[in-house]
Structure 1
Protein backbone atom coordinates (compact mmCIF):
# COMPACT_ATOMS: atom_id res chain seq x y z
CA UNK A 1 0.00 0.00 0.00
CA UNK A 2 1.46 3.31 -1.17
CA UNK A 3 1.24 6.35 1.00
CA UNK A 4 0.04 9.58 -0.69
CA UNK A 5 2.56 12.31 -0.78
CA UNK A 6 1.52 15.52 0.82
CA UNK A 7 0.76 18.18 -1.82
CA UNK A 8 3.41 20.81 -2.11
CA UNK A 9 2.11 24.23 -3.07
CA UNK A 10 3.56 25.63 -6.28
CA UNK A 11 5.40 28.77 -5.64
CA UNK A 12 4.43 31.44 -8.17
CA UNK A 13 6.21 34.77 -8.30
CA UNK A 14 3.28 36.33 -6.50
CA UNK A 15 3.40 33.70 -3.73
CA UNK A 16 7.17 34.07 -3.54
CA UNK A 17 6.85 37.79 -3.03
CA UNK A 18 4.22 37.16 -0.35
CA UNK A 19 6.47 34.58 1.37
CA UNK A 20 9.45 36.88 1.29
CA UNK A 21 7.36 39.64 2.67
CA UNK A 22 6.39 37.50 5.65
CA UNK A 23 9.77 35.94 6.30
CA UNK A 24 12.23 38.69 5.51
CA UNK A 25 12.27 42.37 6.10
CA UNK A 26 8.78 43.83 6.29
CA UNK A 27 7.65 45.71 3.13
CA UNK A 28 5.14 48.41 3.20
CA UNK A 29 1.64 47.24 2.25
CA UNK A 30 1.32 49.88 -0.49
CA UNK A 31 4.59 48.82 -2.15
CA UNK A 32 3.58 45.16 -1.99
CA UNK A 33 0.25 45.95 -3.64
CA UNK A 34 1.97 47.76 -6.50
CA UNK A 35 4.34 44.85 -7.16
CA UNK A 36 1.49 42.37 -7.27
CA UNK A 37 -0.47 44.51 -9.73
CA UNK A 38 2.49 44.89 -12.10
CA UNK A 39 3.18 41.16 -12.08
CA UNK A 40 -0.45 40.34 -12.77
CA UNK A 41 -0.58 42.77 -15.67
CA UNK A 42 2.58 41.23 -17.17
CA UNK A 43 1.26 37.70 -16.91
CA UNK A 44 -2.12 38.56 -18.44
CA UNK A 45 -0.58 40.60 -21.26
CA UNK A 46 1.60 37.70 -22.32
CA UNK A 47 -1.43 35.52 -22.90
CA UNK A 48 -3.09 38.03 -25.23
CA UNK A 49 -2.59 38.28 -28.99
CA UNK A 50 -2.88 41.51 -31.03
CA UNK A 51 -6.19 41.69 -32.93
CA UNK A 52 -5.89 42.08 -36.73
CA UNK A 53 -6.74 45.46 -38.26
CA UNK A 54 -10.17 45.68 -39.93
CA UNK A 55 -9.99 45.32 -43.69
CA UNK A 56 -10.83 48.58 -45.50
CA UNK A 57 -12.46 48.98 -48.87
CA UNK A 58 -10.31 49.93 -51.82
CA UNK A 59 -10.11 53.64 -52.70
CA UNK A 60 -11.58 54.71 -56.05
CA UNK A 61 -12.16 58.14 -57.62
CA UNK A 62 -15.83 57.89 -56.63
CA UNK A 63 -15.61 56.90 -52.94
CA UNK A 64 -12.39 58.57 -51.79
CA UNK A 65 -13.08 60.81 -48.79
CA UNK A 66 -9.46 61.46 -47.85
CA UNK A 67 -9.53 59.48 -44.61
CA UNK A 68 -6.90 56.97 -45.68
CA UNK A 69 -3.36 58.35 -45.45
CA UNK A 70 -1.39 58.68 -48.67
CA UNK A 71 1.31 56.31 -47.39
CA UNK A 72 -1.29 53.57 -46.86
CA UNK A 73 -2.55 53.70 -50.44
CA UNK A 74 -1.52 51.31 -53.15
CA UNK A 75 -0.23 52.50 -56.53
CA UNK A 76 -3.66 52.14 -58.12
CA UNK A 77 -5.36 53.93 -55.21
CA UNK A 78 -2.87 56.81 -55.44
CA UNK A 79 -3.73 57.14 -59.12
CA UNK A 80 -7.44 57.17 -58.24
CA UNK A 81 -6.95 59.92 -55.66
CA UNK A 82 -4.86 62.00 -58.05
CA UNK A 83 -7.56 61.63 -60.70
CA UNK A 84 -10.27 62.75 -58.30
CA UNK A 85 -8.27 65.77 -57.13
CA UNK A 86 -7.49 66.78 -60.72
CA UNK A 87 -11.19 66.58 -61.58
CA UNK A 88 -12.14 68.69 -58.56
CA UNK A 89 -9.49 71.27 -59.46
CA UNK A 90 -10.86 71.40 -63.00
CA UNK A 91 -14.37 72.03 -61.67
CA UNK A 92 -13.07 74.90 -59.54
CA UNK A 93 -11.34 76.48 -62.55
CA UNK A 94 -14.48 76.08 -64.66
CA UNK A 95 -16.58 77.72 -61.94
CA UNK A 96 -14.18 80.65 -61.70
CA UNK A 97 -14.22 81.08 -65.47
CA UNK A 98 -18.02 81.01 -65.60
CA UNK A 99 -18.22 83.54 -62.79
CA UNK A 100 -15.87 85.84 -64.70
CA UNK A 101 -17.97 85.59 -67.86
CA UNK A 102 -21.20 86.34 -66.00
CA UNK A 103 -19.60 89.30 -64.21
CA UNK A 104 -18.32 90.71 -67.50
CA UNK A 105 -21.72 90.35 -69.18
CA UNK A 106 -23.52 91.98 -66.26
CA UNK A 107 -21.14 94.93 -66.29
CA UNK A 108 -21.20 95.49 -70.04
CA UNK A 109 -24.95 94.95 -70.43
CA UNK A 110 -26.29 96.50 -67.22
CA UNK A 111 -23.89 98.50 -65.04
CA UNK A 112 -21.55 100.14 -67.56
CA UNK A 113 -22.36 103.79 -68.40
CA UNK A 114 -22.58 102.95 -72.12
CA UNK A 115 -24.52 99.69 -71.68
CA UNK A 116 -27.82 99.03 -73.41
CA UNK A 117 -29.74 99.25 -70.14
CA UNK A 118 -28.16 102.61 -69.26
CA UNK A 119 -28.93 104.11 -72.68
CA UNK A 120 -32.47 102.72 -72.54
CA UNK A 121 -33.06 104.36 -69.15
CA UNK A 122 -31.75 107.73 -70.37
CA UNK A 123 -33.94 107.59 -73.47
CA UNK A 124 -37.04 106.85 -71.39
CA UNK A 125 -36.25 109.80 -69.11
CA UNK A 126 -36.01 112.10 -72.14
CA UNK A 127 -39.42 110.92 -73.35
CA UNK A 128 -41.05 111.44 -69.97
CA UNK A 129 -39.64 114.98 -69.68
CA UNK A 130 -40.61 116.09 -73.20
CA UNK A 131 -43.72 118.34 -73.20
CA UNK A 132 -44.97 117.09 -76.57
CA UNK A 133 -44.72 113.45 -75.45
CA UNK A 134 -46.54 114.31 -72.25
CA UNK A 135 -49.39 115.86 -74.21
CA UNK A 136 -49.68 112.74 -76.39
CA UNK A 137 -49.06 109.98 -73.85
CA UNK A 138 -50.33 111.53 -70.61
CA UNK A 139 -48.95 111.80 -67.09
CA UNK A 140 -45.18 111.09 -67.22
CA UNK A 141 -45.36 109.26 -63.89
CA UNK A 142 -47.69 106.72 -65.51
CA UNK A 143 -45.72 106.24 -68.74
CA UNK A 144 -44.34 102.71 -68.95
CA UNK A 145 -41.58 101.57 -71.32
CA UNK A 146 -41.11 97.95 -72.30
CA UNK A 147 -39.77 95.70 -75.04
CA UNK A 148 -41.49 93.69 -77.70
CA UNK A 149 -44.79 92.01 -76.95
CA UNK A 150 -44.71 88.26 -76.47
CA UNK A 151 -47.49 85.72 -76.96
CA UNK A 152 -46.17 83.44 -74.23
CA UNK A 153 -48.39 84.00 -71.20
CA UNK A 154 -45.81 82.39 -68.91
CA UNK A 155 -43.11 84.81 -69.97
CA UNK A 156 -43.40 88.11 -68.16
CA UNK A 157 -40.16 89.68 -69.38
CA UNK A 158 -40.53 91.55 -72.67
CA UNK A 159 -37.11 91.84 -74.31
CA UNK A 160 -35.96 95.12 -75.81
CA UNK A 161 -35.04 94.87 -79.48
CA UNK A 162 -31.51 96.26 -79.75
CA UNK A 163 -28.35 95.68 -81.72
CA UNK A 164 -24.75 96.92 -81.76
CA UNK A 165 -22.55 96.72 -84.82
CA UNK A 166 -19.45 98.36 -86.27
CA UNK A 167 -19.25 99.73 -89.77
CA UNK A 168 -16.25 99.70 -92.11
CA UNK A 169 -15.01 103.04 -90.72
CA UNK A 170 -14.83 101.65 -87.20
CA UNK A 171 -17.89 103.56 -85.99
CA UNK A 172 -20.03 101.71 -83.45
CA UNK A 173 -23.80 101.89 -83.93
CA UNK A 174 -26.39 101.19 -81.25
CA UNK A 175 -29.97 100.81 -82.45
CA UNK A 176 -32.92 100.19 -80.17
CA UNK A 177 -36.71 99.93 -80.43
CA UNK A 178 -39.18 99.84 -77.51
CA UNK A 179 -42.79 100.64 -76.65
CA UNK A 180 -44.05 103.49 -74.46
CA UNK A 181 -47.53 103.21 -72.96
CA UNK A 182 -49.27 106.14 -71.29
CA UNK A 183 -52.77 106.87 -69.94
CA UNK A 184 -53.77 108.60 -73.22
CA UNK A 185 -51.94 106.75 -75.99
CA UNK A 186 -49.33 104.17 -76.86
CA UNK A 187 -46.25 104.88 -78.92
CA UNK A 188 -43.17 103.25 -80.42
CA UNK A 189 -39.77 104.78 -79.70
CA UNK A 190 -36.64 104.28 -81.77
CA UNK A 191 -33.12 105.49 -81.20
CA UNK A 192 -29.84 105.38 -83.07
CA UNK A 193 -26.59 106.20 -81.31
CA UNK A 194 -23.02 106.25 -82.61
CA UNK A 195 -19.52 106.26 -81.16
CA UNK A 196 -16.54 107.13 -83.33
CA UNK A 197 -13.10 105.51 -82.94
CA UNK A 198 -11.56 108.88 -82.00
CA UNK A 199 -13.76 108.95 -78.90
CA UNK A 200 -12.07 105.84 -77.52
CA UNK A 201 -14.07 104.70 -74.52
CA UNK A 202 -16.40 107.70 -74.65
CA UNK A 203 -20.18 107.54 -74.46
CA UNK A 204 -22.50 107.01 -77.39
CA UNK A 205 -23.97 110.10 -79.01
CA UNK A 206 -27.52 110.39 -80.32
CA UNK A 207 -28.05 110.27 -84.04
CA UNK A 208 -31.80 110.34 -83.53
CA UNK A 209 -34.48 109.53 -80.97
CA UNK A 210 -38.14 109.81 -81.92
CA UNK A 211 -41.56 108.55 -80.85
CA UNK A 212 -44.35 107.54 -83.21
CA UNK A 213 -47.93 107.77 -81.91
CA UNK A 214 -50.71 106.57 -84.18
CA UNK A 215 -52.66 109.49 -85.66
CA UNK A 216 -49.97 112.07 -84.82
CA UNK A 217 -46.79 113.41 -86.36
CA UNK A 218 -43.47 111.89 -85.44
CA UNK A 219 -41.95 113.53 -82.39
CA UNK A 220 -38.17 113.97 -82.56
CA UNK A 221 -36.37 114.34 -79.28
CA UNK A 222 -32.89 114.01 -80.81
CA UNK A 223 -31.96 114.56 -84.44
CA UNK A 224 -28.25 115.05 -85.06
CA UNK A 225 -28.60 115.74 -88.79
CA UNK A 226 -31.17 118.48 -88.29
CA UNK A 227 -29.16 119.98 -85.46
CA UNK A 228 -26.07 120.15 -87.68
CA UNK A 229 -28.08 121.82 -90.42
CA UNK A 230 -29.54 124.32 -87.99
CA UNK A 231 -26.11 125.05 -86.52
CA UNK A 232 -24.66 125.55 -90.00
CA UNK A 233 -27.49 127.86 -91.01
CA UNK A 234 -27.05 129.90 -87.85
CA UNK A 235 -23.32 130.22 -88.48
CA UNK A 236 -23.89 131.42 -92.04
CA UNK A 237 -26.46 133.93 -90.87
CA UNK A 238 -24.03 135.42 -88.38
CA UNK A 239 -21.29 135.89 -90.95
CA UNK A 240 -23.58 137.80 -93.36
CA UNK A 241 -23.78 141.54 -92.64
CA UNK A 242 -25.33 144.25 -94.86
CA UNK A 243 -25.86 141.75 -97.62
CA UNK A 244 -22.19 140.76 -97.62
CA UNK A 245 -21.27 137.17 -96.81
CA UNK A 246 -18.15 137.11 -94.65
CA UNK A 247 -17.98 133.33 -94.50
Structure 2
Protein backbone atom coordinates (compact mmCIF):
# COMPACT_ATOMS: atom_id res chain seq x y z
CA UNK A 1 0.00 0.00 0.00
CA UNK A 2 1.34 3.42 -1.03
CA UNK A 3 2.01 6.06 1.65
CA UNK A 4 -0.05 8.85 -0.02
CA UNK A 5 -3.15 6.60 -0.07
CA UNK A 6 -2.60 5.70 3.58
CA UNK A 7 -2.31 9.34 4.51
CA UNK A 8 -5.47 10.23 2.58
CA UNK A 9 -7.39 7.48 4.36
CA UNK A 10 -6.12 8.74 7.69
CA UNK A 11 -7.23 12.30 6.87
CA UNK A 12 -10.95 11.36 6.28
CA UNK A 13 -11.75 10.91 9.98
CA UNK A 14 -10.88 13.06 12.92
CA UNK A 15 -9.72 10.15 15.05
CA UNK A 16 -7.41 8.86 12.34
CA UNK A 17 -6.00 12.37 11.89
CA UNK A 18 -5.02 12.55 15.56
CA UNK A 19 -3.37 9.11 15.47
CA UNK A 20 -1.35 9.96 12.32
CA UNK A 21 -0.05 13.17 13.94
CA UNK A 22 1.38 11.30 16.92
CA UNK A 23 2.93 8.69 14.65
CA UNK A 24 4.66 11.29 12.39
CA UNK A 25 6.19 13.08 15.39
CA UNK A 26 7.59 9.91 17.02
CA UNK A 27 8.38 7.59 14.15
CA UNK A 28 10.15 7.63 10.79
CA UNK A 29 8.70 7.25 7.26
CA UNK A 30 9.09 3.46 7.50
CA UNK A 31 7.14 3.23 10.68
CA UNK A 32 4.37 5.36 9.02
CA UNK A 33 4.19 2.84 6.21
CA UNK A 34 4.02 -0.07 8.68
CA UNK A 35 1.42 1.49 10.88
CA UNK A 36 -0.62 2.59 7.89
CA UNK A 37 -0.92 -0.95 6.68
CA UNK A 38 -2.91 -1.72 9.82
CA UNK A 39 -5.33 1.21 10.34
CA UNK A 40 -7.23 1.28 13.59
CA UNK A 41 -10.88 0.26 13.95
CA UNK A 42 -11.98 3.88 14.30
CA UNK A 43 -10.92 4.62 10.72
CA UNK A 44 -12.99 1.76 9.29
CA UNK A 45 -15.92 2.83 11.43
CA UNK A 46 -15.64 6.40 10.10
CA UNK A 47 -15.53 5.12 6.53
CA UNK A 48 -18.52 2.82 6.90
CA UNK A 49 -20.71 5.27 8.81
CA UNK A 50 -21.79 7.41 5.76
CA UNK A 51 -22.72 4.32 3.76
CA UNK A 52 -24.76 2.93 6.63
CA UNK A 53 -26.45 6.33 7.06
CA UNK A 54 -27.35 6.46 3.39
CA UNK A 55 -28.79 2.93 3.42
CA UNK A 56 -30.80 3.74 6.56
CA UNK A 57 -32.18 6.91 4.99
CA UNK A 58 -33.10 5.02 1.81
CA UNK A 59 -35.04 2.44 3.78
CA UNK A 60 -36.89 5.15 5.66
CA UNK A 61 -37.71 6.92 2.40
CA UNK A 62 -39.13 3.75 0.86
CA UNK A 63 -41.28 2.90 3.83
CA UNK A 64 -43.56 6.01 3.55
CA UNK A 65 -44.12 5.33 -0.16
CA UNK A 66 -45.22 1.78 0.45
CA UNK A 67 -47.41 2.87 3.34
CA UNK A 68 -48.97 5.64 1.20
CA UNK A 69 -49.70 3.22 -1.65
CA UNK A 70 -51.33 0.77 0.74
CA UNK A 71 -53.35 3.54 2.36
CA UNK A 72 -54.54 4.83 -1.06
CA UNK A 73 -55.56 1.31 -2.09
CA UNK A 74 -57.47 0.86 1.15
CA UNK A 75 -59.13 4.27 0.79
CA UNK A 76 -60.19 3.51 -2.81
CA UNK A 77 -61.62 0.17 -1.78
CA UNK A 78 -63.43 1.76 1.15
CA UNK A 79 -64.78 4.56 -1.07
CA UNK A 80 -66.00 1.98 -3.58
CA UNK A 81 -67.72 0.09 -0.81
CA UNK A 82 -69.23 3.28 0.60
CA UNK A 83 -70.73 4.67 -2.67
CA UNK A 84 -74.33 5.73 -2.44
CA UNK A 85 -76.99 3.50 -3.90
CA UNK A 86 -78.32 4.37 -7.36
CA UNK A 87 -81.96 5.56 -7.50
CA UNK A 88 -84.08 7.03 -10.33
CA UNK A 89 -83.52 10.49 -8.83
CA UNK A 90 -79.73 10.56 -8.29
CA UNK A 91 -78.43 8.34 -11.10
CA UNK A 92 -75.94 10.28 -13.23
CA UNK A 93 -74.59 7.32 -15.21
CA UNK A 94 -71.10 7.32 -13.69
CA UNK A 95 -71.46 3.89 -12.09
CA UNK A 96 -70.94 1.12 -14.70
CA UNK A 97 -73.84 -1.20 -15.42
CA UNK A 98 -71.81 -4.24 -14.33
CA UNK A 99 -71.36 -2.82 -10.83
CA UNK A 100 -75.08 -2.19 -10.24
CA UNK A 101 -77.26 -4.44 -8.17
CA UNK A 102 -80.61 -5.75 -9.36
CA UNK A 103 -82.57 -2.94 -7.72
CA UNK A 104 -80.18 -0.31 -9.04
CA UNK A 105 -80.48 -1.67 -12.58
CA UNK A 106 -84.27 -1.41 -12.27
CA UNK A 107 -83.93 2.18 -11.06
CA UNK A 108 -81.70 3.13 -13.99
CA UNK A 109 -84.04 1.46 -16.48
CA UNK A 110 -87.00 3.36 -15.00
CA UNK A 111 -85.14 6.66 -15.25
CA UNK A 112 -84.14 6.07 -18.87
CA UNK A 113 -87.69 5.04 -19.77
CA UNK A 114 -89.04 8.23 -18.23
CA UNK A 115 -86.49 10.35 -20.11
CA UNK A 116 -87.37 8.64 -23.39
CA UNK A 117 -91.07 9.28 -22.74
CA UNK A 118 -90.41 12.97 -22.14
CA UNK A 119 -88.48 13.19 -25.41
CA UNK A 120 -91.35 11.55 -27.30
CA UNK A 121 -93.90 13.91 -25.72
CA UNK A 122 -91.73 16.90 -26.64
CA UNK A 123 -91.47 15.74 -30.24
CA UNK A 124 -95.24 15.24 -30.49
CA UNK A 125 -95.99 18.69 -29.03
CA UNK A 126 -93.47 20.33 -31.34
CA UNK A 127 -95.03 18.61 -34.34
CA UNK A 128 -98.51 19.73 -33.26
CA UNK A 129 -97.41 23.35 -32.88
CA UNK A 130 -95.69 23.30 -36.27
CA UNK A 131 -98.80 21.80 -37.92
CA UNK A 132 -101.04 24.42 -36.32
CA UNK A 133 -98.79 27.29 -37.41
CA UNK A 134 -98.65 25.99 -40.97
CA UNK A 135 -102.38 25.39 -41.38
CA UNK A 136 -103.50 28.59 -39.61
CA UNK A 137 -100.76 31.05 -40.57
CA UNK A 138 -98.34 29.99 -43.28
CA UNK A 139 -100.56 27.87 -45.52
CA UNK A 140 -101.87 29.67 -48.63
CA UNK A 141 -105.41 28.52 -47.72
CA UNK A 142 -105.28 29.58 -44.05
CA UNK A 143 -107.48 32.32 -42.60
CA UNK A 144 -104.54 34.63 -42.08
CA UNK A 145 -103.38 34.27 -45.68
CA UNK A 146 -106.91 34.85 -47.02
CA UNK A 147 -107.29 37.92 -44.81
CA UNK A 148 -103.98 39.40 -45.96
CA UNK A 149 -104.80 38.85 -49.63
CA UNK A 150 -108.20 40.51 -49.17
CA UNK A 151 -106.67 43.55 -47.45
CA UNK A 152 -104.12 43.93 -50.25
CA UNK A 153 -106.90 43.89 -52.85
CA UNK A 154 -108.86 46.51 -50.90
CA UNK A 155 -105.85 48.83 -50.77
CA UNK A 156 -105.24 48.34 -54.50
CA UNK A 157 -108.84 49.20 -55.57
CA UNK A 158 -109.16 52.90 -56.44
CA UNK A 159 -112.91 52.90 -55.83
CA UNK A 160 -112.35 52.03 -52.17
CA UNK A 161 -109.38 54.32 -51.67
CA UNK A 162 -111.42 57.21 -53.06
CA UNK A 163 -113.92 56.66 -50.25
CA UNK A 164 -111.62 55.66 -47.38
CA UNK A 165 -108.54 57.74 -48.18
CA UNK A 166 -104.84 57.04 -48.67
CA UNK A 167 -104.20 53.29 -49.09
CA UNK A 168 -101.09 53.48 -46.91
CA UNK A 169 -103.26 54.62 -44.01
CA UNK A 170 -106.06 52.07 -44.40
CA UNK A 171 -106.24 49.67 -41.46
CA UNK A 172 -108.10 46.33 -41.38
CA UNK A 173 -108.97 44.57 -38.11
CA UNK A 174 -111.42 42.16 -36.53
CA UNK A 175 -114.29 42.66 -34.16
CA UNK A 176 -114.16 45.31 -31.47
CA UNK A 177 -112.83 44.08 -28.12
CA UNK A 178 -111.30 45.56 -24.99
CA UNK A 179 -107.87 45.02 -26.49
CA UNK A 180 -106.56 48.31 -27.87
CA UNK A 181 -104.13 46.53 -30.19
CA UNK A 182 -106.13 46.25 -33.38
CA UNK A 183 -104.15 43.38 -34.87
CA UNK A 184 -105.08 41.25 -31.84
CA UNK A 185 -108.81 41.64 -32.47
CA UNK A 186 -110.39 38.38 -33.68
CA UNK A 187 -111.62 38.17 -37.26
CA UNK A 188 -115.19 36.88 -37.55
CA UNK A 189 -115.11 33.80 -39.77
CA UNK A 190 -117.04 30.60 -40.34
CA UNK A 191 -115.93 27.32 -41.89
CA UNK A 192 -118.24 24.58 -43.06
CA UNK A 193 -118.21 21.65 -45.46
CA UNK A 194 -121.10 20.44 -47.62
CA UNK A 195 -121.66 18.74 -50.95
CA UNK A 196 -120.17 21.69 -52.82
CA UNK A 197 -116.90 21.62 -50.86
CA UNK A 198 -115.26 23.65 -48.09
CA UNK A 199 -116.67 27.11 -47.38
CA UNK A 200 -114.91 30.00 -45.66
CA UNK A 201 -116.99 33.07 -44.84
CA UNK A 202 -115.23 36.09 -43.34
CA UNK A 203 -115.95 39.71 -42.43
CA UNK A 204 -113.75 42.45 -40.97
CA UNK A 205 -113.53 46.22 -40.49
CA UNK A 206 -111.62 48.61 -42.73
CA UNK A 207 -110.76 52.13 -41.61
CA UNK A 208 -109.24 55.02 -43.52
CA UNK A 209 -108.59 58.71 -42.98
CA UNK A 210 -111.94 59.63 -44.55
CA UNK A 211 -114.40 56.86 -43.71
CA UNK A 212 -114.92 53.38 -42.33
CA UNK A 213 -116.50 50.29 -43.82
CA UNK A 214 -117.00 46.51 -43.62
CA UNK A 215 -115.55 43.88 -45.91
CA UNK A 216 -117.32 40.57 -46.63
CA UNK A 217 -116.00 37.59 -48.53
CA UNK A 218 -117.00 34.01 -49.23
CA UNK A 219 -114.41 31.47 -50.39
CA UNK A 220 -115.16 27.99 -51.74
CA UNK A 221 -112.84 25.07 -52.38
CA UNK A 222 -114.60 22.39 -54.38
CA UNK A 223 -113.71 18.70 -54.10
CA UNK A 224 -110.54 17.94 -56.04
CA UNK A 225 -109.35 21.57 -55.99
CA UNK A 226 -106.31 22.72 -54.05
CA UNK A 227 -107.16 26.42 -53.70
CA UNK A 228 -110.15 28.51 -52.64
CA UNK A 229 -112.02 30.63 -55.16
CA UNK A 230 -114.12 33.72 -54.42
CA UNK A 231 -117.88 33.40 -54.44
CA UNK A 232 -118.21 37.04 -53.50
CA UNK A 233 -116.06 39.79 -52.07
CA UNK A 234 -117.42 43.28 -51.47
CA UNK A 235 -117.02 46.32 -49.23
CA UNK A 236 -119.85 48.36 -47.71
CA UNK A 237 -119.19 52.00 -46.80
CA UNK A 238 -122.12 53.78 -45.08
CA UNK A 239 -123.76 56.27 -47.41
CA UNK A 240 -122.30 54.73 -50.58
CA UNK A 241 -123.13 51.91 -52.94
CA UNK A 242 -121.71 48.46 -52.34
CA UNK A 243 -118.37 47.90 -54.05
CA UNK A 244 -117.85 44.38 -55.44
CA UNK A 245 -114.34 43.10 -55.91
CA UNK A 246 -115.46 39.52 -56.73
CA UNK A 247 -118.95 38.32 -57.65
CA UNK A 248 -119.95 34.84 -58.76
CA UNK A 249 -123.23 34.47 -60.60
CA UNK A 250 -126.02 33.55 -58.18
CA UNK A 251 -123.78 33.45 -55.11
CA UNK A 252 -123.40 37.09 -54.07
CA UNK A 253 -126.13 38.58 -51.87
CA UNK A 254 -128.37 41.16 -53.49
CA UNK A 255 -127.67 44.81 -52.80
CA UNK A 256 -131.37 45.65 -53.08
CA UNK A 257 -133.15 46.45 -49.87
CA UNK A 258 -136.67 45.32 -49.19
CA UNK A 259 -139.22 46.36 -46.59
CA UNK A 260 -141.02 43.95 -44.29
CA UNK A 261 -143.20 45.08 -41.38
CA UNK A 262 -141.80 48.58 -41.85
CA UNK A 263 -138.17 47.43 -41.46
CA UNK A 264 -135.64 47.65 -44.28
CA UNK A 265 -133.65 44.43 -44.78
CA UNK A 266 -130.47 44.15 -46.79
2:170 pairs with 1:160: no
Aligned position for 1:188? 214
Q: Which runs of 4+ in 1 moved over 6 A?
A: 32-35
- Give me the TM-score of the superposition, normalised by structure 2: 0.65
Aligned position for 1:61? 88
Between the aligned partners of 1:66 and 1:136, the Cα distance in structure 2 is 72
Q: With a CA cutoff of 8 Å and minimum separation of 6, indicate the structure with the bigger relative contact order.
A: 1
Question: 1:98-247 maps to which residues of 2 (within 5 A)?
Answer: 98-152=125-179, 157-169=184-196, 171-199=197-225, 201=226, 203-225=227-249
Q: 1:43 to 1:198 in 2, by over 3 A?
A: closer
Q: Over aligned residue pairs, what C-alpha RMSD do you find?
A: 3.4
Number of aligned residues: 201
Q: 1:134 to 1:153 in 2, by over 3 A?
A: closer
Q: 1:225 to 1:59 in 2, by over 3 A?
A: same
Deviation, 1:43, is 7.1
Between the aligned partners of 1:42 and 1:215, the Cα distance in structure 2 is 106
**Higher helix fraction: Structure 1 or Structure 2?**
2
Which moves more between the two structures, 118-127 or 32-41? 32-41
Structure of larger gyration radius: 2
Contact 2:174 2:182 in 1 (8 A): no
Between the aligned partners of 1:204 and 1:46, the Cα distance in structure 2 is 83
Deviation, 1:117, is 1.5
